[in-house]
Amino acid sequence: MSDPLLLIISSPSGAGKTTLTRRLLQQLGQELRFSVSHTTRTPRRTEVAGQDYHFVDPDTFRAMVAEERFAEWAEVHGNLYGTCMSEIDDARREGRRALLFDVDYQGARQIKAKIPAAVGVFILPPSLSELRARLEGRGTESPESLERRFAKAKEEIEHYPFFDYLVVNDDLNRAHAELHGIVHGELCRRWRLADRAEALLRE
Ligand code: ADP
Ligand code: 5GP
């Protein structure tokens, strides 16, 4: 069995990556594993510890950095976020076809530097005004946090050339269909299925 597809999903805050990721997980179920990050951010009302994030204090996070337990980590919007190396090992062990990372562009760059076969998807909002409306509508951020996230949006979008795919999340159903198409297209790469072809040739 080939290694799982490592699919990195990034976007400015509020563009819809959590919504799109959840849909993909619902649809692909056991085939897909979601990489649960560690963060020092306080949990939102709707978030479940261990499912959305592993919520830890800054000392614990720093100790994990010192122990080299992260495949990547970064400071984003004033909080620390990191992906444990064990996520990749677990996805392999479980025989998952894909492992999904919801990380910012700094994390995306670190993962790609370590594993060049990883695939990056950047989610774009239809407009900056819609991005702001979505952040406000989500109702999860304090006014300061909302301003900080919105102020960073353009800076994050500037990193789009680093990604393999862009998905504009205007209509949710269409954006989901595009993301779904990317996953399936990547799973059909020749090098992923070459063993199957070679086995037929040996028959
Ligand atoms: P992110 O994870 O990128 O910060 P979310 O997935 O939390 O963004 O989405 C931000 C808000 O926008 C949420 O309230 C979500 O329900 C809403 N949203 C996501 N996609 C769409 C869309 N295509 N059209 C309208 N609202 C959307
Ligand atoms: P939020 O606080 O809205 O959940 O996430 C804020 C930002 O942190 C988003 O851009 C999200 O992709 C990013 N993020 C979440 N987990 C990680 C991680 O493990 N590593 C990095 N580098 N960024 C992360």
pTM: 0.96
Q: Is the pLDDT assigned to residue 196 strictly greater than 90?
A: yes
Whole-angstrom distance, CA of residue 38 vs CA of residue 40 = 7
**Residue owning the nearest CA to atom 10 of ligand 1:** 14
pLDDT over 90 percentage in the chain: 97
> What's the CA-to-centroid distance between 74 and ligand 1, angstroms?
23
Nearest bound ligand to the CA of residue 173: 1
Distance (Å) from CA 17 to ligand 1 centroid: 7
Return the pLDDT at 20.
Answer: 97
**Ligand nearest, relative to CA of residue 126:** 1
Quote the pLDDT of residue 186: 98
Give helix then strand counts, H and E, for the chain: 8, 9
User: In the prediction, which pLDDT does 2 show?
Assistant: 76
- In this predicted structure, the answer to whether residue 144 has a pLDDT above a threshold of 80 is yes
To test the pocket of ligand 2, the residue of 20, 101, 103, 156 to mutate (highest count of ligand atoms within 8 Å of its CB) is 103
pLDDT computed for residue 29 by the predictor: 85
Work out the percent of the chain whose per-residue pLDDT is above 70.
100
Backbone angles phi, psi at 187, to 5 degrees: -70, -15
Query: Does the domain made of 5-202 have the CATH classification 3.40.50.1370?
Result: no
- 203, with CB counted inside 10 A (0-12, 13-18, 19+), is exposed
* Residue minimizing CA distance to atom 3 of ligand 2: 13
Burial of 73 (0-12, 13-18, 19+ CB in 10 A): buried
CB proximity list for 194: less than 8 A, separation 6 or greater: none
Domain map (residue ranges) of the chain: 5-202
Question: Rounded distance, CA 47 to CA 37, Å?
Answer: 13
Task: Indicate the average pLDDT of the chain.
Answer: 96
Taking CB atoms and a 6 Å cutoff, what residues make up the pocket around ligand 1? Answer: 11, 13-19, 134, 137-138, 169, 172, 175
Judge whether residue 26 has pLDDT over 80: yes
**Pocket perturbation via mutation, ligand 2, pick of 11, 18, 39 by most ligand atoms within 8 A of CB:** 39
The residue nearest atom 22 of ligand 1, judged by CA position, is: 172
pLDDT for residue 1 is more than 70: no
CB 72 within 8 A of CB 82: yes
Q: Per-residue pLDDT for 63 more than 70? A: yes
Q: How confident is the model at residue 86 (pLDDT cuts 50, 70, 90)?
A: very high
Mean pLDDT of 108-127: 97
Q: How confident is the model over 156-162, as a mean pLDDT? A: 98
Report the interhelical angle of 172-187 vs 17-28 (nearest 10°): 60
